[in-house]
Amino acid sequence: MAAFGYLALASDGSEIRGVIDADTARAARSSLRERGLHPIDVNPLGVNAGAASAGRIVRRWFERRAIGTADLSLLTRQWSSLLGAGLTAEQSLAALIDQAETTAVRHTLAGVRGELTAGYSLRAALDRHAASFPPVYRASVAAGEKSGQLPAVMDELADYLDRRDALRRKTMQALIYPVLVAAVALVIIMALMVYVVPQVVSVFQGGKQTLPWLTRVLIAISGVLRDYGWVMVAAAVAALFLARAALREDAVRHRWHRWLLELPLLGRHLRTLESARFASTLAMLAGSGVPLLVALEAGKQVIGLLPMRDAIDAAITRVREGVPLSRALAESRRFPALLIHLVASGEQTGRLDSMLKRAALLQESELENRTAVLTSLLEPALLLSMGGFVLLIVLAVMQPIIEINHLFR
């Protein structure tokens, strides 16, 4: 048998360290569970203590990380299945800890289970791990606990996370190709300007003929790029870091977001994206029985653009005053008319959650169509731009040759 050092959580949530004898690390974990402990880290003791220490440092770094979106979606789906099978929250968490493949997920779930067995409610236990569980998640769980419908709420929450992750993936996949085309085009043009053009035009620079203006401009640009290219790259990187630092200020970020929303095509696309997120979140929370004001506060957290978040703040204030949600959203002039009309219909018929869900689906469908249109416009525009730059370079090189041919006729 070998000795294993372990870090485990007791039933009251406290951390316990010690040494246990077992044949394998898996057997050590099983022995700890039999003692009522929840193992977080189990390492063999002995020869390679330095490597084990380094491994513990790496693992602790992973433990501090929040659960990723994809992991949270899968975790919620498994959790809802276990709750639907009749397991209690504590039993389902124990099963999820055994199933977890990453240290971050295992450590977070063990912490939640420890606080749950210590007497905290599930919502309070999740609040202590706010980095992994967003406000929408915690508000839904609280509503499920209060109504006694936690399995159904978790299933709805899993569907919501899947839809949100699918929407994010579709948007990213649609933008990958245009970004790659733009990057390749930029590299090719820079290579032509820095390496190819100087070698070609050097043939004409020794002559007495006056070069065409296009050739002279091309030579000047090529010289600037060769002499000051690295300076320009360093300046661009510095400007990027400065802009990122400036955007940490709420006033600067607010002006930037407002400018983005006012752009002709991109602004409407961003407004549709944020509206789809907000409607989907609000529909899920309303369907789970979360009070409207609490749902609005949680829905505000998924909005990234500050002007639209301010609009939701104003709507929350108006709803507290007794104004219908549809009118409160309409006053901001930030949300699509379709969303407002469906919300008004849901308020009149008493089916707000279903109308919000329909609005979210329509907004997501419009977003997919708009993304496809933008992508179909970007691709030829990038190709034409690249072709135009290459054509200018070819013309600048060919014009002196054509003029020399005319002189010898």
- Span(s) in the chain for CATH 1.20.81.30: 69-112+130-162, 171-409
pLDDT-above-70 percentage for the chain: 90
pLDDT category, 44, cuts 50, 70, 90?
confident
* Structure letter (DSSP) for residue 68: P
pLDDT-above-90 percentage for the chain: 8
Q: Which residue has the higher pLDDT, 236 or 203?
A: 236
Tell me phi and psi for residue 102, to 5 degrees.
-115, 150
Q: Is 32 left (phi over 0), alpha (psi -120 to 50) or beta?
A: alpha
Of 123-127, 221-225, 287-291, the least confident = 287-291
pLDDT tops 60 at residue 234: yes
What pLDDT is attached to residue 186? 84
What pLDDT is attached to residue 208? 62
Fold observed for domain 69-112+130-162:
Receptor-associated Protein (1.20.81)
Q: What is the spatial distance between Cα 12 and Cα 138, in angstroms, rounded to a whole number? A: 22
Q: Is 89 helix (H, G, I), strand (E, B) or coil?
A: helix
How far is Cα of residue 383 from the mean position of the Cα atoms in its chain?
29
Q: Read off the pLDDT of residues 76-101 as tens digits, 9 standing for 90 and up.
A: 888 888 888 888 888 888 888 888 87
How distant, in Å, are the alpha carbons of 189, 219, 226 from that of 223?
14, 6, 5
306-320 vs 325-332: helix axis angle to the nearest 10?
A: 140
At 330, list the tokens.
């309409």
Q: Are 308 and 274 in contact (CB under 8 A)?
A: yes
Q: Which residue has the higher pLDDT, 15 or 339?
A: 339
Q: Residue 111 is inside which H or E element, if any?
A: helix 103-117
Q: Is 401 helix (H, G, I), strand (E, B) or coil?
A: helix
Q: What is the spatial distance between Cα 44 and Cα 21, in angstroms, rounded to a whole number? A: 10
* Cα radius of gyration (the chain): 30
Q: What is the spatial distance between Cα 194 and Cα 196, in angstroms, rounded to a whole number? A: 6
At 263, list the tokens.
């752009």
pLDDT tops 80 at residue 242: yes
Q: Which CATH architecture best describes the domain 2-63?
A: Roll (3.10)
pLDDT category, 61, cuts 50, 70, 90?
very low
**Domain boundaries 171-409, corresponding CATH code:** 1.20.81.30
Q: Read off the pLDDT of residues 293-324 as tens digits, 9 standing for 90 and up.
A: 888 888 888 888 899 989 999 999 999 998 99
How far is Cα of residue 311 from the mean position of the Cα atoms in its chain?
22
Task: Please tell me the pTM assigned to this model.
Answer: 0.67
Alpha helices in 247-334 (DSSP H): 250-261, 266-287, 292-300, 306-320, 325-332
Q: What is the pLDDT averaged over residues 149-164?
A: 83
pLDDT category, 65, cuts 50, 70, 90?
low
Calculate the CA dihedral of residues 336, 337, 340, 346 and round it to 10 degrees: -120
pLDDT category, 207, cuts 50, 70, 90?
low
Identify which of 279, 275, 285 has the alpha carbon closest to the alpha carbon of residue 358: 279
